[in-house]
A and B are shown apart, each in its own frame.
Chain A
Amino acid sequence: MWTVVACLVPPLVLSVFIFGIQTLIITAVSVASCVAVEAATQKALGRRITIGDGSAVITGMLIAFVIPPGVSPLLPVLGAVMAIAIGKHLLGGLGYNIFNPALLARAFLLATFPVAMTSAWLPPLSDLAIFSYLGTTIDAVATATPLAVLKTQGLAAFSEQFGAGANLYTNFFLGWRPGSIGETSGLFIVLGGLYLLYRGYITWHIPVSMLTTIALLSWGFGGEGLFNGDPLLAVLSGGALLGAFFMATDYVSSPTSKTSQLIFGLGIGALTVLIRLKGGYPEGVCYAILLMNPLSPVLDGFFKPKRFAPLQGGAK
């Protein structure tokens, strides 16, 4: 668990230089509340207190990573209650929760604080003035995410605001674009994900099938006419990379057999593109994963490991 925490630190540090020091404050509040809520809930339910296992710390970091950088630092406290108390422990506790707790918190915050969650986006800093957003009124500086611009104003406005070509891809890959706290640093997220792959903590099946599906469907249907979309931009936008490596691969809420994992990733990718292109929200990774989570046991029930030598007559 602590390895995952370590993999989440580089994107967090980078976010300080992109959106300012308040990303660190929000993350600290989020992690502290998750650990506190975990301890309180386990005590209330009479279960063993397991805050030392790092699981609540990861959830805390991930909640912060999926909310806008301009929100009140108190917002993640509510998110922590939703994620840990309700999403994790009341739904069964570690190992039994159906949904990814961090994403459940994001969905909850999006429903309860729709204005903050959809407008507190900050333009990336260009001068490393990491304290400049402290104390300012968010309304004065707020901007829109690339996917929102693309959805509501079209490709021309998007290119005008974010540039085009190699410059655009570089900025997006490095993380210099408006977005949630931890989702923009494509480079560090991919590096962290590759490290988890290298250490064998995750396998390639879910990230590859999810990102490939997003790329292919966005290429096919994301542009003017057919096969005119930008697959690379689709993968670098929104929470696709963060979701693919750190959310959809959550052991508890994802399937265990490899075939199931491929289908699970495909489903997330397809739902993400569907929501992005046709749904009411500019971004769909969060809901796509939450919609696929409960299908995990169903998929595992369908795709069982191949038995070496099943007993004749079948088991009862």
Chain B
Amino acid sequence: MTSLLTFPKGGVHPSEAKNLTSGLAIEVMPIPDELEMILGQHIGAPCTPTVSIKDVVREGQVIAEVTKGLGVPLHAPVSGIIKGFGMSGHPMRVSAPSITIQTDHAAPAVEYAPSAWQGLSREDLLAKVHGAGIIGIGGAGFPSHVKLNPPPDNPVDTLILNGAECEPYITADHRQMLEHSREIVEGAKVILKILGIRNCHIGIESNKPDAIAVMTEAAATGSTGEYAITVDPLQVKYPQGSEKQLIQSITGRKVPGFALPSAVGVVVHNVSTTKAIYDAVVLGKPLYEKVMTISGKGIKRPANLRVKVGTRVSDIVAYLGGVTPELAKVIMGGPMMGFAVSSLDIPVTKTTSSVLFLAADEIDTTPHSPCIRCGWCLEACPMGLEPKEIALYVEAGRPQDTGQFGVFECFECGSCAYVCPAKRPLVQFVRLAKMKAKR
């Protein structure tokens, strides 16, 4: 067996817990009666609504536009009526401004048909990606058209598709690769054409052999003289799917601090984002649906669902038969990087990859104790930082002095907190430090 690609420094091996949903095909959830469209779904300033109350909107119509800075437009996921403007629950920001749409269940679903894209210019393709509201849906919500338009002084030679899906429980990307391999490869070709390059690597952790097989076949079919697309099996190690770690695993290149991947000639897109780019360019369908994993022992029926963006978590719970008596904690996102939420009245955004309903035996509620300086966090940190020192400084009331330990290089993967024998909430200490410290 050949050795699998991986990154050299740090990383942990949490239990995967993916078997709850990895075998379940993506299921389309019936459209709920109401959707809440949060205006700030991407990195950058929130969109400004372009509709008014009681307006009739059609599925796929733009309902909010970018007026300043970075961003992408927002589309109506259903045909219906604008019910109002208000505040919605948000896993990170507590609450965020949103538009509520009342679904018109009688309206027929919009049909999309593929069209030839090969003849379109780079600018036309970029405009389609932007116009369809595509953002990095695997993580931070960075507008995709910006990534696809790297600064001219950073020549890019490699596209990496991120199919690592290293977070425990989540199987949404896994199912997308199994069920939409051809669309993902076609999307990769669109990206390669926009970037004007030839090479694409699809990184997939080796715990998804079926996805590796399907994607390898699709990549071989899709590779022509013009494009070389290959699948790179990766070692199972968290955080393999982190952008900087993935680039190092596949190309051996290290992205400098604060730089974008294009600084080392690489552009990275999540496989599900690539599928969305296919939808946008080939089908002309904007991004307003989301494949997500609902899992954990706290939900009656775990599932991989295709839902409309704006669907409330409470509607998903009702559709899946409710929660079980064992439910102890609800997390939006993965167990390593996600956010615990105290309400189910929170709508799904373009970047919500999962909602986990965890039972008491799936979480650890041991109260944390003082740092005993075992140094395990130093070994676990993929960025070579000193989480224990950051936490001690925050506890001692000196968060402003944590820059020396690399607090701003931390991307909050949670590996340190995972290994900490004193159960210290190290990521929370880091977030506090980032808020108080100055760059």
Contacts and interface: CB of A to CB of B under 8 A. Distances in A.
Interface string A300-314: 000011111111100
A307 B409 contact: yes
B375 A306 contact: no
Interface in A262-308: 296, 304-308
A94 B369 contact: yes
A311 B257 CA distance: 5
Interface string B406-421: 1011000000000000
A160 interface: no
Contacts of B375: 251, 255-257
Contact of A310 (B257, B370, B378, B382): B257
A252 B256 CA distance: 33
B386 interface: yes
B195 interface: no
Contacts of A96: 370
Contacts of B257: 307, 309-312
A296 B374 CA distance: 12
B406 A310 contact: yes
A93 interface: yes
Contacts of A251: 372-375
Contacts of A315: 403-406, 408
B58 interface: no
Given A53-B369, A316-B404, A309 B255 contact: yes
A251 to B, nearest CB: 4
B436 to A, nearest CB: 14
Nearest to A249: B374
B45 interface: no
Contacts of B370: 93-96
Contacts of A132: none
A50 interface: yes
B112 interface: no
B382 A50 contact: no
Contacts of A305: 378, 381, 384-386
Interface in A211-265: 251-252, 254-257
A308 B373 contact: no
B254 interface: yes
B308 interface: no
Given A50-B369, A256-B388, A316-B403, A311 B374 contact: no
Interface string A89-115: 000011110000000000000000000
Given A50-B369, A96-B370, A256-B375, A309 B403 contact: no
Contacts of A296: 373
A316 B402 CA distance: 9
A182 to B, nearest CB: 22
Nearest to A200: B376
Interface in B61-115: none
Contacts of A257: 375, 378
Contact of A309 (B244, B378, B405): B244
A308 B405 CA distance: 12
A308 B409 contact: yes
Interface string B253-267: 011111100000000
Interface in B171-205: none
A47 to B, nearest CB: 10
A309 B373 contact: no
Contacts of B408: 311, 315
Contacts of B258: 311-312
B384 A95 contact: no
A99 to B, nearest CB: 13
A305 B404 CA distance: 12
**Interface class of chain B by DSSP:** loop
B371 interface: yes
Nearest to A316: B403
A306 B384 contact: yes
Nearest to B371: A95
B406 A94 contact: no
B432 interface: no
Interface string A63-96: 0000000000000000000000000000001111
Interface in B340-384: 369-375, 378, 381-384
B397 to A, nearest CB: 15
A215 to B, nearest CB: 26
Contact of A307 (B255, B384, B388, B403): B384
Contacts of B9: 306, 308
Given A93-B370, A309-B409, A311-B257, A256 B378 contact: yes
Contacts of B259: 309
B101 to A, nearest CB: 43
B372 A252 contact: yes
Given A305-B384, A307-B385, A311-B257, A95 B409 contact: no
Q: Which of A53, A255, A309 has the most CB of B within 10 A?
A: A309
Contacts of A310: 257, 406, 409
Nearest to A53: B369
Contacts of B381: 305
Contacts of A316: 403-404
A305 B382 CA distance: 11
Contacts of B422: 95
Interface string A152-185: 0000000000000000000000000000000000
A75 B22 CA distance: 62
B386 A95 contact: no
A237 to B, nearest CB: 30
A309 B384 CA distance: 8
Contacts of B405: 315
Nearest to B405: A315
Contacts of B386: 304-305
A223 to B, nearest CB: 37
A202 to B, nearest CB: 9
Chain B CB count within 10 A is highest, among A296, A306, A316, for A316
A308 B372 contact: no
27 contacts: A94-B369, A94-B370, A95-B371, A95-B372, A95-B373, A95-B422, A252-B373, A254-B373, A255-B375, A296-B373, A305-B381, A305-B385, A307-B383, A307-B385, A308-B254, A308-B384, A308-B409, A309-B255, A309-B256, A310-B406, A311-B258, A312-B256, A312-B257, A312-B258, A315-B403, A315-B405, A316-B403
Given A95-B373, A296-B373, A315-B408, 16 more contacts: A95-B371, A96-B370, A251-B374, A251-B375, A256-B373, A256-B374, A256-B388, A257-B375, A305-B381, A306-B9, A309-B256, A311-B257, A311-B406, A312-B256, A315-B404, A316-B403
- 7 closest Cβ contacts across the A-B interface? A256-B375, A95-B370, A315-B403, A311-B257, A251-B374, A309-B257, A307-B384
Interface of A: 50, 53, 93-96, 251-252, 254-257, 296, 304-312, 315-316
